[in-house]
Chains A and B, each alone.
Chain A
Amino acid sequence: MSNSELKVKVWRGTQEGAFVEYLVPRNPNQTVLDVVTFIQRKLDPTLSYRFACRVGMCGSCAMTVNGVARWTCRTHVSQIVEGDSLEIAPLNNLPVIKDLATDMREFFNKWKGAVGFFKGDATRHDDFARVEPESPERQLANAGIECIGCGVCYSSCEVVQSRPNYLGPAALNRAWTLTNDVRDVQQLDRLRAVAGDEGCHACHTQGSCTERCPKKLEPTASIAGLKKLVARAAVRGSKWGKL
């Protein structure tokens, strides 16, 4: 038996605030993003939230739905509704700007902090780099490069919560893909950046990142790769130099 209305609790406020309940008409094929949009357009124009593509490509609409970080445009209400109730909150582990919008700066700063960006030494005057697609490094890199920086993994990670400076699954995943990019020339800096208590070894393999990634990426695998690499570098040195 389906009710005609949803009771939707939405976080209103900033770091301090409260859940406010709205009544939203229930429709077939309704996504959580549809629900949030309805609230903002028809019930309360002061609600702040983010979205862009609404088709599961950009990752902007990520929020905490019934306690779990998800892309709201790709989450059907029928999949996750509890009776006729929903709870929508901003992504965890990130400061709240207002209502459902979080401050993503620390997320992207940690990306930079993990040297999660490419730098090569070739110029337009050099020939193309030759990277064998079937090479083990390229396959490892390919397994992780589809990340669009939506923040779901970061916001699902309990280590991020208990160690505020922990780089987090997305940054470490990106660092791993670049570690396996044979053209990159910052490998030693990157290894140093992901070592230490806020680096890869702080990961406890809880697996929430891998469990929740909407693109089915596996940061746990990437971090395991980094753990081994950094540990060997600490003990024996790496092919790029001593840690």
Chain B
Amino acid sequence: MSSRPKLDLRAKSHLSYFAYACHRFSGLLLACFIPLHFLMLSQSLRGASGFERYLGLTDFWVFKFGEWALVILLAIHLVGGIRLIMIEFGPWRGLRKAWTQVAILFGIACGLLFLYLAN
């Protein structure tokens, strides 16, 4: 005896839901990151050398990976967000699946660009 089935992954396996999931996930992680980002930047109040000391704390690979991941999440959240604005405020042209594809590609592009430009 078990409980009646609920909505599972099979119901949600379509592009529009995937776009929603990416948007929510990236938004949540960004929301957690932003206060820490501001905290780090506010160390600039200590002047250049004080700021540099705190910036140096992020030299561990964990932080570098985090920065890279966050740039990708930011890119995805940005384009996914534009898609939502188009859906909710723009002329109705369906679920804007092309925008979801652009979000993924833009995320990949930003990830690659970040790796290329950072040392």
Classify A-B as touching or not with yes or no (CB < 8 A): yes
Q: What is the interface of chain A mostly: helix, strand, loop, or mixed?
A: mixed
Q: Are B2 and A16 in contact (CB under 8 A)?
A: yes
Q: Which residues of A contact B92 (CB under 8 A)?
A: 218, 221, 224
Contacts of A221 in B (CB 8 A): 92
Contact check, B17 vs A207: say whether CB atoms are below 8 A apart: yes
- Contact indicator A92/B6 (Cβ below 8 Å): yes
Residues of A contacting B17 with CB < 8 Å? 158, 206-208, 211
Q: Is A93 a contact of B7 with CB atoms below 8 Å?
A: yes
Query: Which of B2, B16, B84, B95 lies in contact with A17, CB distance below 8 A?
Result: B2
Query: Quick one: closest B residue to A155, CB to CB?
Result: B7
Number of A-B contacts (CB under 8 A): 85
Q: How far is the CB of B28 from chain A (nearest CB, A)?
A: 13
* Docked complex: B70-114 residues within 8 A CB-CB of A: 84, 87-89, 92, 94-95
Other than the given A16-B1, A204-B24, A206-B12, 17 more pairs (CB < 8 A) read A13-B1, A15-B4, A16-B3, A18-B2, A67-B8, A69-B11, A89-B4, A89-B5, A93-B7, A158-B17, A161-B7, A205-B84, A207-B19, A207-B95, A211-B16, A211-B17, A224-B88
15 inter-chain pairs at a CB distance below 8 angstroms, sorted by A residue, are: A11-B4, A15-B4, A16-B2, A18-B2, A66-B10, A92-B7, A156-B7, A204-B20, A205-B20, A205-B87, A207-B17, A207-B19, A211-B14, A220-B95, A228-B89
